[in-house]
Structure 1
């Protein structure tokens, strides 16, 4: 019996493949700075941000220096809020919550997810919300998944994890967690529901 269904955030609960894509696109659009330049400025810090070694506040002077402009830090929060919600997957999660625990396991920045907990009301629907920057471990290893299982009170065999990156399914699969690949480019919610039904999770109508 499945007790817990865990969703990746970016690319599953959102319609952008990554959070970095969302942030860079917004800052580029608002400032007029070339998108590739914004991506490059952030990319050097991405892994340390994702593992919680630094925060956006700490690296912001370096971002501004790389871009050659003094940008208001509030711009970053606006970029967070521009994250496009995948409304059909949110609706699916609400249906699943009637019978299961629904949570998030994400390789992400703590300050970004903290902001989105409020602006998107994530905490009212998902529990637990496990963020790599808080755990100090990403989805390449088992630790973040074990952390999620402990919080959900579920065993690997009682759990499902959905991600839009096949590489991120290897560690949970090795633990015995049932895994589903969600192709973010197709965003086929009916296919996702069928995959859940195959695992014994009643997903309802997409």
Structure 2
């Protein structure tokens, strides 16, 4: 485990403490994806860190290891339609709530005793919880959640790239890069694009 992740002491929290993170607020298309993870102290996972600080190859390896060794995990989402209806902040909170509500171990539901959430906002829920700024680089369980969410969403964008060729989704993962913006102007807006986002709305 990296030195960075040792900065935040989680020893004072209950055993069933879940870490939660989401990915996909910035992209112009696709769902926002969240994950919740309860780690098993008896099965430590080495090398956990903010998913953005890890190589794709390392994230892929950890994706499998987290699911094999965690006490419980869940990957959830909020759809493009929900993002456009609620706004991205509320859709992100919804995705995180679904991830915590969906925590399972061996097919059975697991209710966390406490929840640590990356960032400075908490969803409106009944769980005892705390927001941790930059938690994905401080709290192992949040780091694990960030890895599950990012790998899941990145894989989905690669699949969508096959369905919607020409937009470069496999490369930029939906973010508003020059390639993506030019493709939107040339090829038009698809049903996976977020119509409430400025660059997309401007083309409608």
Identify whether the pair has TM-score above 0.5, normalized to the shorter chain: no
* TM-score normalised by the chain length of structure 1: 0.32
Between Structure 1 and Structure 2, which shows a larger proportion of helix residues?
1
Please identify which structure carries the higher strand content: 2
